[in-house]
Amino acid sequence: MEERHILVVEDEKRLQDVVRIYLEREGYRVSQAYDGEDALRLLTKEKIDLVLLDVMLPHIDGWQVCERIREDSDVPIIMVTARTQEYDKIKGFDLGVDDYVSKPFSPRVLVKRIQAVLRRSMGLKSEDKTDQVLTVGALRVNPVSRECHVGDKPVNLARKEFDLLLFIMRHPNQVFNREQLLDQVWGDLYVDDRTVDTHVKQLREKIGACRGMIQTVWGVGYKFVPVAEHEDGS
């Protein structure tokens, strides 16, 4: 099996070394960066399979680093933070973060979270390579390039927004409650079920004229209704 390469971005050297030791014991290759600028430089030079990113960094913080990474990369990102407020987590997921680990943390638990995110990431990539472009009315989603268009206009979706849209498009007319969507799209991540509502709201705003395809089933959850059926029922 190919050795997975993890970039650890953390300005505390002692914590960096502890994380590196645990990861190397598990067979991972580890690169280290002590600030955001070093991390971004390494990402342009190396093939990285996952980024472990601290929020509080010198020069540019973890949020800014995440935004820069997501401009041209889909590499999984786990944020390491002492912040536990729901707002901070939602902000991170909106930027494309895949998971959170709160300080202080157990290195063993951290390793398990990394393994879970990598498994999910590899599974999604494998699934996406076999899929055709999904086109429903003006809405077009390409699972391989992870691009979304409404008509000729590109739609910039955060990582989980894209995953959510792709999942419900693959299951038209099927109603999913929030728990099911959390399980299918967020997997093992510890997020509040209101995260689903937030992502649905943002998706509807971003896909504009196609927003009616994502329908609320009151008291249950959400479903994706293909355009022809939506127009007939409206």
Domain boundaries, the chain: 5-128, 131-233
Task: Please give the pLDDT value at position 159.
Answer: 82
- Order of strands across the sheet that contains 139-142: 134-136, 139-142, 147-150, 153-155
Q: pLDDT at position 234, please?
A: 37
Confidence of residue 228 (pLDDT cuts 50, 70, 90): very low
Residue at 206: amino acid letter: K
Superfamily covering domain 5-128: Response regulator (3.40.50.2300)
Distances from the Cα of 109 to the Cα of 163, 169, 190, 193, angstroms: 25, 34, 13, 23
- Does residue 93 have a pLDDT over 80? no
Nearest to 185 by CA among 166, 212, 207, 210: 166
**Would you state the pLDDT for residue 125?**
54
Question: Domain 131-233: which topology?
Answer: Arc Repressor Mutant, subunit A (1.10.10)
Q: Report the half-sphere exposure of 210 (CA within 13 A, side-chain side).
A: 24
Query: Given a cut of 80, is residue 230 above it in pLDDT?
Result: no
- pLDDT in the model for residue 70: 86
Would you say 53 and 80 are in contact if contact means Cβ atoms under 8 Å apart?
Answer: yes
Please give the structure tokens belonging to residue 4: 């997975």
Q: Dump pLDDT digits (tens) for 46-84.
A: 899 999 999 989 889 999 999 899 888 888 999 888 766
Confidence band for 190, pLDDT divided at 50, 70 and 90: low
pLDDT at residue 179 in the model: 87
- pLDDT of 122: 67
Q: pLDDT-derived band of residue 43, with 50, 70 and 90 as boundaries?
A: very high
Long-range contacts of 226-230 (CB under 8 A, 24+ apart): 226/136, 226/137, 226/172, 226/173, 227/136, 227/137, 227/138, 227/139, 228/137, 229/173
For residue 233, pLDDT over 50 is answered with no
**pTM, rounded to two decimals:** 0.60
pLDDT tens, position by position, 7-36: 999 989 999 999 999 999 989 999 999 999
Percentage of the chain surpassing pLDDT 90?
46
Q: 223: part of which helix (H) or strand (E)?
A: strand 221-224
- Smallest CA-to-CA distance from 100 within 198, 201, 192, 4 is with 192
Instruction: Using DSSP bridges, classify how beta strands 50-54 and 77-81 pair: parallel, antiparallel or unpaired.
Output: parallel
Q: List alpha helices for the chain, DSSP H.
A: 13-25, 36-45, 62-70, 86-95, 107-129, 159-169, 178-181, 194-207, 227-233
Task: Tell me the pLDDT of the chain averaged across its residues.
Answer: 85
**For residue 96, what pLDDT band results from cuts at 50, 70 and 90?**
confident
Per the document, the length of the chain is: 234
